[in-house]
Chains A and B, each alone.
Chain A
Amino acid sequence: MTANSEIDMPAQTAGTTHSEETSVEPVIAVNNLNIYYDKFLAVRDVTMEIASRSITALIGPSGCGKSTFLRSLNRMHEVIPKAHVDGVVQLNGEDIYRPDVDPVTVRRRIGMVFQRPNPFPTMSIYENVLAGMRLNANRLSKPDADEIVERSLTGANLWGEVKDRLDNPGSSLSGGQQQRLCIARAIAVEPEVLLMDEPCSALDPISTMAIEALMEQLKDQFTIVIVTHNMQQAARVSERTAFFNIDEPGQPGHIVEMDLTEKMFSNPQEKATSDYVTGRFG
């Protein structure tokens, strides 16, 4: 990690491939981030900004490090033994990798939804939604808890389906429902940013549509970053898209280009991007 703990980062040295888009307030600003597994450099030199209240999609071929990058945004990367990063990731201008920052606080404010739905198997639907709240609130009154559960499940478009069986175990739901339960669990703690790591890859098309529709609603409240394998999905849901690539296996992944989604899919600046989005490789 860099010793640089200065707060006021002056103007971004804008990456060459960043286009001049409309001025938006970045919630997350990444600067020269290198991500390692032990000594292996998995992702090199990422600089990007993630706009508030919008959906940013990360696309790229397998192994290009987009999931690794996503996990480094809320310090979940370091959960893996010997994994570490250097560079700066700012949340509202504050470096989340500063030595005196507690990863717990970071994750509290940047929630995450995983590739495979992972509700806690020993908890009911109700308790699953509250899992994050229980950590913080000393005592959650029953009415408060009920309200949070309803609000979060409604927010995740799941309330109608489960309101009569909140005491059933979370694992009793279908895959798509479980994933929405996990989204409800993540938004219950009201994070600022929601990271989604291929949230639909384990789901059927109907459930995928339900999640995509949900994301559309959620972006009014949350900043969403989604990793996806599915280029149509990126095109459908996101405002901005970043394309990650890898030169050859064993080399670190890196960001090729980032721009408005529309432009990325119609008129990208880099040849690799257009090759990828037109399905020529990957």
Chain B
Amino acid sequence: MSQPVAQEKIRKAPTSVPDRLFSSLSQASAATILLLLSGVAFFLTVVGWSGIFGDIEGMSGSDSFVEYVGPLVFGTVYAATLALLIATPLAFAVALFISHYAPRRLAQTLGYVVDLLAAIPSVVFGIWGITVVAPLLSKNVYPWANDNLSFIPFFSGTASTSGRTMLTAGMVLAMMILPIITAISREVFLQTPRLHEEASLALGATKWEMIRQAVIPYGRSGVISGAMLGLGRALGETMAVAIILSPSDGYFWSILTNQNSNTIASNIALKFPEAYGLDVNRLIATGLVLFLLSFGVNMLARRVANSGFSGAAG
């Protein structure tokens, strides 16, 4: 008599109306995320299409899209690479300092300080960069580098007196991506198995030798993927570059002059508010290029991270 009732309840419970409602609601949210992202690609392509293949007559300047976006891609990659070259060694050292050199009690606070650096809005970094960093460098460093190092192509040309150069932009960008590289590196350094560290110390290794023997091999892939994520962020960083860099059309290698290739993001920020007609579509098309660029770099970063850890885990 009681058995059928119990069975009925059991059958009923998982399919009760609120239960189904709730699970479909959460499932729908998850699906929305997929929709959103394909939406980004879709809408950018639709609106950007006429910017790539539309009538050049309708746009300012007479470049084809490739001619238009070429210097921007160059500038974007150049600025981001410069930032990466400055930030990675620094971030590596800072992460090691926090994870292995600073007193334990301080380590957390120091990590917080570096995280705080990440929280500063980019517009603030931009204004700070152009009022503090640019004059400082253009007064103290650029003339000297220009006088003594101009045989290297990067330091040739007429040194900027305003400091609105690729190097300044790269340095400020480096400050902005440093926290993410530091945070990820610090995390993997702290995860180094104690056993390996102690094995090294017990062999009579100094601290640095222990780090080279146990910590760096373990954390290498983490540092690389952190750097790649930092690169992805530097590629898309807009305001600091828009405020600091003095842009020109074309490809420029020199990092000390007022003539610099602009970045995609900064170009959009500078031109978009005043753009109309097909120019808008073209700017959106450059945005699509930027999206693909940073998408590629981020994918690569994840791949590095995933491939590296499996080796260290064994």
Binding site for B on A (CB under 8 A): 74, 76, 79, 81-82, 104-109, 111-112, 114, 116, 118-123, 131-132, 135-136, 169, 171, 182, 185-186, 189
With the chains together, A107 CA to B314 CA distance in Å? 27
Say how far B308's CB is from chain A's closest CB, in angstroms: 10
Does B218 contact A122, Cβ atoms closer than 8 Å?
A: yes
* Mask of B186-216 contacts with A, CB within 8 angstroms, 1/0: 0000000101111111111110010001100
Does A122 contact B203, Cβ atoms closer than 8 Å?
A: no
With the chains together, A169 CA to B204 CA distance in Å? 22
Given contacts A81-B104, A131-B213, A171-B314, contact A118 B198 (CB under 8 A): yes
Does A189 contact B202, Cβ atoms closer than 8 Å?
A: no
CB-contact partner of A120 in B196, B202, B204, under 8 A: B196
Given contacts A120-B217, A122-B217, A131-B213, contact A114 B199 (CB under 8 A): yes
Does B311 contact A107, Cβ atoms closer than 8 Å?
A: no
Does B204 contact A105, Cβ atoms closer than 8 Å?
A: yes
Say how far A106's CB is from chain B's closest CB, in angstroms: 8
- Interface residues in B267-314 by Cβ distance below 8 A to A read 311-312, 314
CB-contact partner of A112 in B104, B202, B314, under 8 A: B202
Given contacts A120-B213, A131-B213, contact A189 B104 (CB under 8 A): no
Given contacts A118-B195, A118-B198, A120-B196, contact A132 B203 (CB under 8 A): yes
With the chains together, A69 CA to B188 CA distance in Å? 31
Say how far B167's CB is from chain A's closest CB, in angstroms: 36
With the chains together, A47 CA to B133 CA distance in Å? 62
- Chain A residues near B213: list those with CB within 8 A: 120, 131, 135
CB-contact partner of A107 in B193, B197, B202, B218, under 8 A: B202
Does B198 contact A114, Cβ atoms closer than 8 Å?
A: yes
Given contacts A81-B104, A171-B314, contact A118 B196 (CB under 8 A): yes
- Chain B residues near A106: list those with CB within 8 A: 204
Say how far A100's CB is from chain B's closest CB, in angstroms: 16
Say how far A276's CB is from chain B's closest CB, in angstroms: 28
Given contacts A120-B214, A122-B218, A122-B312, contact A114 B195 (CB under 8 A): yes
Q: Which 9 A-B pairs have the closest CB atoms?
A: A108-B204, A132-B203, A112-B202, A122-B217, A118-B195, A81-B104, A107-B204, A118-B199, A171-B314
Given contacts A118-B196, A118-B199, contact A135 B217 (CB under 8 A): no
Does B199 contact A182, Cβ atoms closer than 8 Å?
A: yes
Does B203 contact A111, Cβ atoms closer than 8 Å?
A: yes
Say how far A60's CB is from chain B's closest CB, in angstroms: 22
- Chain A residues near B199: list those with CB within 8 A: 114, 118-120, 131, 182, 185
- Chain A residues near B204: list those with CB within 8 A: 104-109, 132, 135-136, 189
With the chains together, A185 CA to B205 CA distance in Å? 13
Nearest residue, chain A, Cβ from B103:
A81
- Chain A residues near B203: list those with CB within 8 A: 107-108, 111, 131-132, 135, 185-186, 189
- Chain A residues near B311: list those with CB within 8 A: 121-122
With the chains together, A131 CA to B204 CA distance in Å? 10
With the chains together, A105 CA to B204 CA distance in Å? 6
- Chain A residues near B209: list those with CB within 8 A: 135
Does B214 contact A76, Cβ atoms closer than 8 Å?
A: no
- Chain A residues near B206: list those with CB within 8 A: 104, 135
With the chains together, A109 CA to B200 CA distance in Å? 14
Say how far B36's CB is from chain A's closest CB, in angstroms: 40
Say how far A104's CB is from chain B's closest CB, in angstroms: 5
With the chains together, A132 CA to B128 CA distance in Å? 49
Does B202 contact A111, Cβ atoms closer than 8 Å?
A: yes
With the chains together, A252 CA to B237 CA distance in Å? 57
Nearest residue, chain B, Cβ from A82:
B104
- Chain B residues near A79: list those with CB within 8 A: 197-198, 201
Does B205 contact A104, Cβ atoms closer than 8 Å?
A: yes
Does B202 contact A76, Cβ atoms closer than 8 Å?
A: yes
